Structure 1
Amino acid sequence: MSLFLSMAAFALAMSISPGPVNIVALSAGARYGVRASLRHVSGATIGFTALLILVGLGLHEMLVRWQGLTLAIQLGGVAFLLFMAFKLARDDGRLSAAESGQGPSFLQGAAMQWLNPKAWLASVAGMGAFVANGDVQLLLQFALIYFVICYLSVGSWAFAGGFLRRHLSEPGKMRLFNRGMAVLLAASAFYLLWSA
């Protein structure tokens, strides 16, 4: 039982901490509401869980051998984060009922995880810490624990954004909030470029 608690604690620490996926969830919750941001939350959770399982099955070993692919993923991640930051910075801040169904898509949420070095680090570290022996049953149990905790963690950021939405009803306030989120995303991207 203590192994599963350790897995859960690791998953919570990695999933709830600030990062690009959570910043987008917060922003989507504030901009489009919680319901519309659940597509992003679901995509990010399923995308990460798939990444975790594939890393556990040996994907990381392939990337170690193909350094060019690793660099391409890193640069793609930086480009995607800068694109999302640009979209946030350009947003006019006006909320309308017609826009309530829009927001980051399921595929954008999944892609953010695959292009997010934090997700790769969490996958590799988690596999090394809990499934180093390659036990597939243990890998699937870890993935299930991580799935639940990741969904709740990213969802809590979207919920926090939904709470902030009430206080950001004026376009000027929403613009300021979105630009702040854009700066955080761009800073994440430049940090990843610098540390690559």
Structure 2
Amino acid sequence: MTSILPLLLFVAVSTVTPGGATTLATASGARFGFVRSIPLMLGIAMGLAVLAAIAAFGLGGLLLALPSLQTAVKALGSAYLLWLAWRIARSGPPGAGNGPARPVTLANGFLLLWLNPKSWAMTVGAAASFALLASNPNRLAMLLGTAFGVAACASLAFWCALGVLLARFFRTPSHWRMLNLAMGVLLAASLIPTWR
């Protein structure tokens, strides 16, 4: 069996770099705190683990073989993430009534991850690049699912904690509007690499 170190490095870097999920974790941490953001983080991590496992089973090959399906997935995911970015950018301080009143649930976090084009690119890329690490698709699915799930938990916890820390510095509604605008813009900008 080949060393899994390159896979672990790929997974760590791809999950910790800014993107849609990390931006949402940061915004949720700032708005709702760490504990109330745990369902979002777990939902995203579980969604990424399942997506990675499915990519290892062959969904990645199907997406690569059907460019129109790949484009449709990217378009749907991009539209949803742009809508989320708009909602975040327009929200004010917590409790102002113009942002989300409750944190994202575990189920919504799971589903949200499936609409994130970066997640599809990461998992399909990993399945194609590291297929030789396992003797069969089942083992590859377990390896990729576990690696992405654990790395996502750590990465999202880091970004959420950063959001909690940022929230301590925001005292006025204008501070919150600036933070929310920045989070919305970052979420929208995270889609740019998807369409290159």
Do Structure 1 and Structure 2 share a fold, with TM-score over 0.5?
Answer: yes
- Tell me what 2:184 maps to: 182
Q: Which runs of 4+ in 1 moved over 6 A?
A: none
Distance 1:39 1:169 in 2: 26
- Could you tell me whether the CA contact under 8 Å between 2:18 and 2:190 is conserved in 1? no
- Tell me what 1:35 maps to: 35
Distance 2:109 2:14 in 1: 16
- Tell me what 2:12 maps to: 12
Change (3 A) 1:187 1:134: same
Give the aligned residue type for 2:126.
G
- Tell me what 2:3 maps to: 3
- Tell me what 1:157 maps to: 159
Q: Normalising to structure 1: TM-score of the pair? A: 0.86
Distance 1:94 1:140 in 2: 39
Which is worse superposed, 126-135 or 7-16? 126-135
Q: In structure 1, the residue corresponding to 2:13 is in which secondary structure?
A: helix
- Could you tell me whether the CA contact under 8 Å between 1:48 and 1:119 is conserved in 2? yes
Question: Gapped runs of 5+ residues in structure 1?
Answer: none
Give the aligned residue type for 1:142.
L
* Deviation digits for residues 35-76 of structure 1 (CA, Å, limit 9, x no counterpart): 111111111111111110001001122223433322221111
Change (3 A) 1:2 1:151: farther
Change (3 A) 1:2 1:55: closer
- Could you tell me whether the CA contact under 8 Å between 1:117 and 1:192 is conserved in 2? no
Question: Gapped runs of 5+ residues in structure 2?
Answer: none
Give the aligned CA root-mean-square deviation in angstroms: 2.4
- Tell me what 1:108 maps to: 108
Aligned counterpart for 2:138 among listed residues 122, 136, 139? 136
- Could you tell me whether the CA contact under 8 Å between 1:36 and 1:101 is conserved in 2? no
Give the aligned residue type for 2:11.
A
- Could you tell me whether the CA contact under 8 Å between 2:39 and 2:104 is conserved in 1? yes
Distance 1:20 1:100 in 2: 17
Give the aligned residue type for 2:112.
M
Distance 1:104 1:68 in 2: 31
- Could you tell me whether the CA contact under 8 Å between 2:30 and 2:167 is conserved in 1? yes
- Tell me what 1:25 maps to: 25
Q: How many residue pairs are counted as aligned between the two chains?
A: 192
